[in-house]
Amino acid sequence: MAKEIEQKFLVVGDGWRTAAAGRKELRQFYLASGTDRSIRVRIRDGQQATLTIKFGGAERVRDEFEYELPTKDAEEMQAFAIGNLVVKTRHLVDHGGRLWEVDEFAGDLAGLVMAEIESDDIVAAEDRPSWVGREVTGEAGFYNLSLALNGLPEIVS
């Protein structure tokens, strides 16, 4: 079992774009959810798929189990999805020796741009890039499961 330890932020401006070094096209959906757990399928660049089981709800530290899945099986599982499909482009951005993931959402979630940083320690405000806005770690409405089930939350900068 792995621990997912992350902080989530709304992104302000496009300053991150010049530092983006890679990108992945992600399509994901959920097969089941509970108050503190979810089962997700993610398809990366149309060629790799994973099944992820998370425990812990909208918290900074969660238990996570992840398994490779045949892409064909993942495509077929989409018929059993609950909620909406979450489509996003994930950009990889190095800042201060840390890898930030900046997600640009598409479809019904278009306009939402969020950044995540996985780290054992909390990234202090002075170590965050200028394009990182309000922290939304722990705000359930900004987690992918909630986005799939409920759509965009009311965004307050």
Domains, the chain, ranges and CATH? 2-150 (2.40.320.10)
Q: What is the pLDDT of residue 5?
A: 75
Q: Residue 106: which of 44, 45, 152 has the closest Cα?
A: 152
At 66-86, the pLDDT tens digits run 999 999 999 999 999 999 999
Q: Which residues contact 79 (CB under 8 A, 6 or more apart)?
A: none
Residue 157 is predicted with a pLDDT of 42
Handedness of CA 105, 43, 50, 19 (dihedral sign): negative
Residue 30: active-site member: yes
**pLDDT score of 3:** 63
Name the stretches of the chain with pLDDT < 70: 1-4, 58, 156-157
pLDDT of residue 152: 92
Alpha carbon distance 129, 101 (integer Å): 12
Q: Which of 16, 29, 30, 143 is catalytic?
A: 30
